[in-house]
Structure 1
């Protein structure tokens, strides 16, 4: 009975993305999408506009894109980004490349397993306050509902609820857009597809070093993450990581392994942004690194940057909606 229920659950999850054309290489399976969040172009376009709209913040000063900049791999460039009221952030903003495939979506909260649920944290969360909309949901719905174009976009994206503007439809639209943030065209990817010369000799040496130094134990798979939690060093700050959610002492200072997609442009690094350079981040991972090993490792990590992803106009801030300029 248990195996039958598991199979049914997987079928329902996958059904939400089955009809969508992901445009993926034949050897890469599409991401799992919740059945109640099926992909559609109308939903993606609505989510894209919402992602870039500062009206999702309490004072109209900060959008999702204010912390997730496309040119930085949808990371931020700051150690930790303050919220709308100036509250200091708790953790470094992660990049969003291939986020549709992530089993765990934050540095240390295993309960957040869908993009729809995760999106509500910056919107409504208070530890720290980011967009600051907790208790202001009615105001958010009013703002969006006062825009005739938004009303049309919600109606097209969610005909099953007659375009009702709610936390559910907002989060589902933004999650749909985030699932299109696919980065699979880096020089390293092209090298793997047989493109001669896509990466340098030094980068190829870095690939070998990355494996020999044991980095692949955690940074594994297509996106260079095992999506699991690890402790690399004792954290001297207040953020104790996974233990805050589990209460188990052995989870102290454990954080999720981040993906290395676009890692060269997503700094500063570490869960708290305390590694200001890529070299510093590498040295904190690899003990006893020889002087002549740094350049190859850096060259390999730089080969994971997908420049197409960083400039794809389909992921950029929209300049038109409903046939008019925004």
Structure 2
């Protein structure tokens, strides 16, 4: 199924939208972009949260979105790659989801996935590789979820103009709404940037200077430490064509989107293929990172550790819900 078909289907939900979502963001942070055909609402977020933890969205009922995106790991999973429901080996490392709503590009090398609604379809019905394995089984989504009275009620509330219809487009819309709430702005570095001069340790402050001096911010710049552009790092080999798989251009072979460094200390292993088992190894694969002294490397790692938002890792609003429709799960 082409992602643009599902995106177009979301327009069915656009009319008679629920009351606007109230964002709770630090001062100076503007809300993320939201497609007009999928406005935010409490009902959609609650539904998306429940769906995120539901393995019925996979072919054999064994893999939920949360099976690859674990909150305690910044919504990464700690593996180099993740097997799909049929045993297909994963191709790329599972990225964390902190502040994913602000990212203009949502995968390592697919420039067409520009909204969370489109991205949700990749694990659900994608075939390279097969992850959740729902390609050809899309009609089962309505039957499976529709057998649950709570889901019928939640879909009616989330998409009132859809009269309770449960389908792939609605699932993608709800998952996207939930992921847009995965806001992480409470790392020590965030507090430091907001004016708390005591938020960073002395070593982290020195590491921040190393980060700037060796040019890390050239690619890992901005509020979320990514330029969201595609780059090739010559020290990294492998057979993955990267961006060239979609553009067909030889110049794009081995180019991948710069990952965000938010929560980077706990989202390993690192690189697009998870081939760096330690964060230091990932750093040293960069040109200037290779020549860092042991002391400077230690300082840099201290700074990177202070990009971790511990509140985000334990925030109950992102965890598996223990109740739905007023009843324990």
User: TM-score, length-normalised on structure 2?
Assistant: 0.93
Q: Which residue of 2 aligns with 1:120?
A: 121
- 2:311 pairs with 1:315: no
**Deviation of 1:267 (Å):** 0.2
Q: Which residue of 1 aligns with 2:246?
A: 245
**Distance (Å, rounded) in 1 between the aligned partners of 2:18 and 2:275:** 37
**Distance (Å, rounded) in 1 between the aligned partners of 2:212 and 2:196:** 21
**Deviation of 1:280 (Å):** 0.7
**Deviation of 1:193 (Å):** 1.5
**Distance (Å, rounded) in 2 between the aligned partners of 1:131 and 1:45:** 22
- 2:321 pairs with 1:303: no
Gaps of 5+ in 1: 1-12
Deviations 1:63-121 (A, max 9, x none): 00000000000001000000011110000000000000000000000011000001001
**Deviation of 1:236 (Å):** 3.1
Matched ranges for 1:40-51 at <5 A: 40-51=41-52
**Distance (Å, rounded) in 2 between the aligned partners of 1:288 and 1:279:** 12
Q: Which residue of 2 aligns with 1:99?
A: 100
Number of positions where the alignment pairs a residue of Structure 1 with one of Structure 2 = 312
CA contact (8 A) 1:17 1:33 kept: no
**Deviation of 1:235 (Å):** 4.6
Deviations 1:207-230 (A, max 9, x none): 111111011000010000000000
**Distance (Å, rounded) in 2 between the aligned partners of 1:146 and 1:251:** 46
CA RMSD of aligned residues (A): 1.5
CA contact (8 A) 1:234 1:253 kept: no
**Distance (Å, rounded) in 2 between the aligned partners of 1:58 and 1:306:** 34
Q: Which residue of 2 aligns with 1:208?
A: 209
Q: Which residue of 1 aligns with 2:260?
A: 259
CA contact (8 A) 1:47 1:176 kept: yes
Gaps of 5+ in 2: 1-13
**Distance (Å, rounded) in 1 between the aligned partners of 2:281 and 2:110:** 26
**Deviation of 1:237 (Å):** 2.2
**Deviation of 1:160 (Å):** 1.4
Matched ranges for 1:174-185 at <5 A: 174-185=175-186
Further displaced range: 262-271 or 196-205: 196-205
Deviations 1:24-80 (A, max 9, x none): 122111101000110000000000000000000010100000000000000010000
Further displaced range: 283-292 or 40-49: 283-292
Q: Which residue of 2 aligns with 1:147?
A: 148
CA contact (8 A) 1:223 1:260 kept: yes
Q: Which residue of 2 aligns with 1:189?
A: 190
SS state at 2:37 partner: helix
Q: Which residue of 1 aligns with 2:135?
A: 134
In structure 2, relative to structure 1, the CA distance for the partners of 1:272 and 1:17 (3 Å cut) is farther
Runs of 4+ that moved beyond 6 A: none
Q: Which residue of 2 aligns with 1:9?
A: none
CA contact (8 A) 2:225 2:261 kept: yes
**Distance (Å, rounded) in 2 between the aligned partners of 1:18 and 1:269:** 40
CA contact (8 A) 1:17 1:31 kept: no
Deviations 1:290-323 (A, max 9, x none): 1211111001000000000000000000011001
User: TM-score, length-normalised on structure 1?
Assistant: 0.93
